[in-house]
């Protein structure tokens, strides 16, 4: 019985951690499946960026210190994520 409870708690913790992460599916609509596109013809190509550059950009969009013409749109996209979520995401998609 103890093992079942521990396994259930572990599964719930893992599921909530994964749910907290950045959902890349929302990004690919503008940036492409492999992040190979300039979003709306205006952004940098994310696939060419380092994970450090991506983290700086995403956190900058969040706090309003980064961005050009799409700054407002991107701020709304990243506002709900923690800096840790944005860092983890940048490690997944960056060079």
* Residue 70 within a domain: yes
pLDDT tens readout for residues 27-48: 999 999 999 999 999 999 999 9
70: CATH:
1.10.760.10
CB 89 within 8 A of CB 22: yes
Kind and range of the H or E run holding 80 = none
Asked whether residue 28 is assigned to any structural domain, the reply reads yes
Residue 4 resides in a domain: no
Task: Indicate whether 29 belongs to any domain.
Answer: yes
Q: How far apart are CA 56 and CA 44, in angstroms?
A: 13
Q: Domain of 35?
A: 23-93
In a domain, 16, yes or no: no
User: What are 64-85's pLDDT values in tens digits?
Assistant: 999 998 899 999 999 999 999 9
Q: Quote the radius of gyration of the chain (alpha carbons, Å).
A: 16
Domains in the chain, number: 1
């Amino acid at each position: 019985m103890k093992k079942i409870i521990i396994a259930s708690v572990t599964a719930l913790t893992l599921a909530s951690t994964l749910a907290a992460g950045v959902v890349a599916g929302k990004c690919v609509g503008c940036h492409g499946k492999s992040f190979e596109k300039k979003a709306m013809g205006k952004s940098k190509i994310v696939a060419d960026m380092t994970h450090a550059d991506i983290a700086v950009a995403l956190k900058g969009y969040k706090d309003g210190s980064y961005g050009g013409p799409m700054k407002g749109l991107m701020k709304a996209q990243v506002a709900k994520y923690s800096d840790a979520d944005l860092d983890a995401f940048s490690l997944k998609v960056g060079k």
